[in-house]
Amino acid sequence: MYKIYTDGSCIQGDAKHENHLAGGWGAIVIDPQGSETEYSGHQSGTTNIRSLKDGIPWGAEVEIHHDYTGISKWLTREWKRKDPDVIKLCAGIEKIIHDRGLKVSFVHVKGHSGDTMNERVDKLASAACKDGISKRS
């Protein structure tokens, strides 16, 4: 089983970039042999499940560890998807899961509670977000 630890970071834009959010994401993918690969990046309106596109073979069993409840609630349809951005985001993730034949389960972890892997991906996401802001200035 592959395990993905994932987190996102978002910073409200300053006066120069009025009402624009900078988004960063970080993920650590652990393969069945225990090898870890780190991923991170930045873009406006980003998602922290982008790592499903990278490094996961077709048909794999994947356990996604996340601290934002919406990730699993929207994808399992426990929450209604009303916002157009959420609808688009979920459709994209569902397409990746379907196209790659992935078997996905979710594990919610409490953010900023000392969970080592969650803290690591939080740092990756925050650094990527700040990097995105510095490149826009």
- Out of 16-25, 103-112, 126-135, the most confident range is 103-112
Least confident of 63-67, 101-105, 113-117, 133-137: 133-137
Nearest Cα to Cα of residue 6 among 56, 54, 67: 67
Nearest Cα to Cα of residue 136 among 11, 8, 47: 11
pLDDT at residue 15 greater than cutoff 70: no
- The DSSP bridge pattern shows strands 21-30 and 2-12 to be antiparallel
Task: For residue 19, name the pLDDT band (cuts at 50, 70, 90).
Answer: very low
Q: 39-92: per-residue pLDDT in tens?
A: 888 766 555 565 566 668 889 999 999 988 888 898 899 999 998 888 888 898
Domains of the chain: 2-132 (3.30.420.10)
Phi-psi region at 21: left, alpha or beta (left = phi > 0; alpha = psi -120 to 50):
beta
